[in-house]
Amino acid sequence: MTAPIAIIMGSQSDWDTMRHAADTLDALGIAADSRVVSAHRTPDRLFAFAKGAKAAGYKVIIAGAGGAAHLPGMAAALTELPVFGVPVESKTLKGIDSLYSIVQMPAGIPVGTLAIGKAGAINAALLAAAVLALSDPALSDRLAAWRKAQTDAVAERPEDKA
Ligand code: RP5
């Protein structure tokens, strides 16, 4: 059975960021399929993946890329599935290039763009989980429990760390 969520990324070097999406989905008990799919270096792989993603059974695509980050937008152009884009922090421009590349989509082809880096990867997973939870009451309960645990972990007062 196909995992409900595909995590695609433009390069192996994006995995240090995108693993946080995979880990968050894992913590919520959601199966995900992580793949390297480069819009520039493997365009045929991108076309094959994105055009077949819906028929393959995926429900949501999380796409992370850095620099001239065309992967999320091109994936969104090739599938009707929701695509959440994660701007990976780049060395030269700190991910501002990635963010602008992903967020400024023309009207008609949406990419839900998250924050740069780890926070964006985690939130892409949580957003994808929220989409799936609309039609999965057990997952909805797990998501609520995850958020409660996060709330419970916040101390009332700051502490001096050793
Ligand atoms: C993008 O170029 C990738 O998404 C990655 O963030 C960036 C750099 O890729 P590498 O040169 O590290 O493979 O396509």
Pocket of ligand 1 (CB under 6 A): 10-11, 13-14, 38, 40, 65-67, 88
- Asked whether residue 147 is domain-assigned, the answer is yes
pLDDT digits (tens, 9 = 90+) for 132-162: 999 999 999 999 999 999 999 999 999 998 7
Identify the residue whose C-alpha is closest to ligand 1 atom 6: 66
Residue 1: band (very low, low, confident or very high) from pLDDT cuts 50, 70, 90: confident
Query: Residue 92's pLDDT is what?
Result: 96
Burial label, 5 (beta-carbon count in 10 A; 0-12, 13-18, 19+): buried
Query: Residue 75's pLDDT is what?
Result: 98
SS3 49: helix
Residue 93: band (very low, low, confident or very high) from pLDDT cuts 50, 70, 90: very high
Give the pLDDT mean for 72-97: 98
Query: Residue 161's pLDDT is what?
Result: 84
Pull the structure tokens for residue 72.
């999320």
Instruction: Supply the range of the domain harboring residue 40.
Output: 5-152
> What does the mean pLDDT of the chain come to?
97
Q: Could you report the predicted ipTM of this complex, rounded to two decimals?
A: 0.97
Ligand 1 centroid from CA 89, angstroms: 10
Amino acid at position 159, single letter? E
Residue 105: band (very low, low, confident or very high) from pLDDT cuts 50, 70, 90: very high
Number of domains in the chain: 1
- Asked whether residue 62 is domain-assigned, the answer is yes
- Asked whether residue 28 is domain-assigned, the answer is yes
CATH of the domain at 98: 3.40.50.1970
Q: Longest C-alpha distance within the chain, in Å?
A: 53
